[in-house]
Amino acid sequence: MHSLLASAALAGLLALLPEVSSLTLPPLIPSIPGVTEPLASNAPPLPILQLPTPPLPSPPFTPSNIKPKRIGYFWTGAGDNIHADFLATYSLDDDTFGTLLWVTDVPTSGNSPHHLGASLDGKTLIGGGLLSLLKTQDTAYYFDTTNPYRPVFKKSNRALLSSITDEIRAKPDGGFFITYMGSAVGTSPGRLVETDDNFNIIHEWPEDVPGVLSVLGQQFDPHGLSIDYENNIILTSDFVAPVTILKPTLGIQRANTLRLWDLPSRTILNTITIPNGGGIQDVKFIPGHPEAAALATAVHLGQVWVIYPFRRDTKGKLGVAELFYDLGPKARDTVAIYSDISQDGRYAYFTLTTANHIAALDISDLSNPIRLDNPDEDQPTIGPHYLKITPDQKHLLVTDYFVQTGDIGVINTPADFKALYIDILQDGRLSFNRSIEFSRDFGTGGKGGDRGGAKPHSSVVFDLSDPAGPVYY
């Protein structure tokens, strides 16, 4: 409760700052019988609340007027944490690769930019802030990409019951589903947040009584998010209680569960446990799989598990987890394991953040996965995390940065702050090729202006090669 009062005081201060008056700070969490009482009694004060001061004036940058067919957008934190966080737009075409096209600031700093997602029509991007709540700032930032070469900051907002914006998935009718990993003060439970097509938050799921009691009774910190619209199901994976990565902490609280949801009703059908998983960071449905199987990453174990949503467990409930592949000793406790799967469902790729490694599997036969990389190979990457297979399925785009909380937290992963553009060979193996160096581009004398470097966490790729069928991923 003390943290909520402090947040209210800081919100009042924020309202006096004209530079950030466009932000939408809601009032205190409304009273909901049976829901807010446990929150109030169990939520510790936030470790460090920070003054919501505006960012330093942004330095000039050198844009380009070229119009490449392939564009990479990177949701990026200022290296010094006091300049504005921003969306960096780059060319990914072969002949102009790494050319900075544009820099789009948001009106805040210190958000620790996290995941980035695109609407299905390619006209809007949304980026979430991992630590925005520490400055009582909005947690989701929207960009207008109607002109894909000159994105414009559109709006920002935040949820009432939840914070710590994580994975993002577009809705077919407009808007987004978003996992918010923590409560409004960073503790468990988080929520699955839904927006409308104007990107206003309309729901924080679950809302039904059994679902709310379930997430209050068991750690619910959704990070991974995958949606199968054909089969009307959702999978979310629980990672860590966010506030426990900040000081003072008695240790990071890692979860071992996934939730299987009914899409039409947005209700939880079952909680699926991976024993001793130690943080189930990511989950993704395998495209085209006849049983709608999905792959989930268990960080403590260093393993990949397969989830069969329509098989029944020993209690007769939908959703079964089986060990799929052990990534080996170097994958144990690597802080983060994130994934992507090729559109033909044949190959899967995994970043092992503190092992400085990207693993590749042939998953075309789930009964016989084949490892394609050498786990003992020294790869030219430091701190790989977020990755996306490009729409043409020919490249893997990896950002070499996870989380650095500095003195206020216990997660500070090494990174070289690069975006790696890795070739995918015909057999699914990886060939390291080119990279974009954010420390150079946003350091002293850099074309993006000196912001003390930059921390690119996530990316979206637009492929405009076919004007009749552009792809936004």
Tracing tokens 């799921």 back to the chain, one arrives at: 205
**Average pLDDT in the chain:** 92
Helix (H) / strand (E) containing 42: helix 36-42
Tens digit of each residue's pLDDT (9 = 90 or more) over 167-207:
999 999 999 999 999 999 999 999 999 999 999 999 999 99
Per the structure block, which two tokens stand in for 431? Answer: 């060939």
Q: What is the mean pLDDT of residues 5-29?
A: 42
Q: What is the mean pLDDT of residues 222-229?
A: 98
Q: What is the DSSP letter of 330?
A: G
Q: What is the DSSP letter of 123?
A: S
Q: Are 421 and 395 in contact (CB under 8 A)?
A: yes
Query: Three-state SS for 5?
Result: helix
For residue 413, the Cα-to-chain-centroid distance in whole angstroms is 16
Percent of the chain scored above 90 by pLDDT? 87
Q: What is the mean pLDDT of residues 435-442?
A: 98
pLDDT, residue 24, reads 52
Tracing tokens 């992963």 back to the chain, one arrives at: 413
Count: domains in the chain: 1
pLDDT, residue 51, reads 76
- Among 66, 49, 64, 88, residue whose Cα is nearest residue 453: 88
pLDDT, residue 77, reads 98
CATH number of domain containing 326: 2.130.10.10
Tracing tokens 């960009």 back to the chain, one arrives at: 143
Q: Does the pLDDT at position 430 exceed 50?
A: yes
Query: CB atoms < 10 A from the CB of 278, how many?
Result: 21
> Model-level pTM?
0.91
Tens digit of each residue's pLDDT (9 = 90 or more) over 323-367:
999 999 999 999 999 999 999 999 999 999 999 999 999 999 999
Instruction: Give the strands of the sheet with 152-157, arranged side by side.
Output: 113-118, 124-129, 140-144, 152-157
Per the structure block, which two tokens stand in for 307? Answer: 């989830």
pLDDT, residue 38, reads 57
Query: CB atoms < 10 A from the CB of 448, how many?
Result: 25
Residue 341 identity (one-letter amino acid): I
Q: Do β-strands 387-389 and 86-91 pair in parallel, antiparallel, or remain unpaired? A: unpaired
Across-strand partners of 424? 430
| Residue 179 Cα distances to 130, 164, 182, 267, 413, angstroms | 12, 8, 9, 15, 22
| Residue 297 Cα distances to 78, 284, 289, 341, 381, angstroms | 29, 9, 18, 13, 20
Residue 64 dihedral angles phi and psi, to the nearest 5°: -130, 145
pLDDT, residue 50, reads 78
pLDDT, residue 383, reads 98
Burial class (CB in 10 A: 0-12, 13-18, 19+), 51: exposed
Q: Band of the pLDDT at 41, cuts 50, 70, 90?
A: low
Instruction: Tell me the residue range of the domain where 326 lies.
Output: 2-472
Q: Band of the pLDDT at 213, cuts 50, 70, 90?
A: very high
Q: Does the pLDDT at position 32 exceed 70?
A: no
Q: Which segments of 229-346 are extended strands (E)?
A: 233-238, 257-262, 267-273, 280-285, 294-298, 303-312, 318-326, 337-341
Q: Does the pLDDT at position 263 exceed 70?
A: yes
Tens digit of each residue's pLDDT (9 = 90 or more) over 385-412:
999 999 999 999 999 999 999 999 999 9
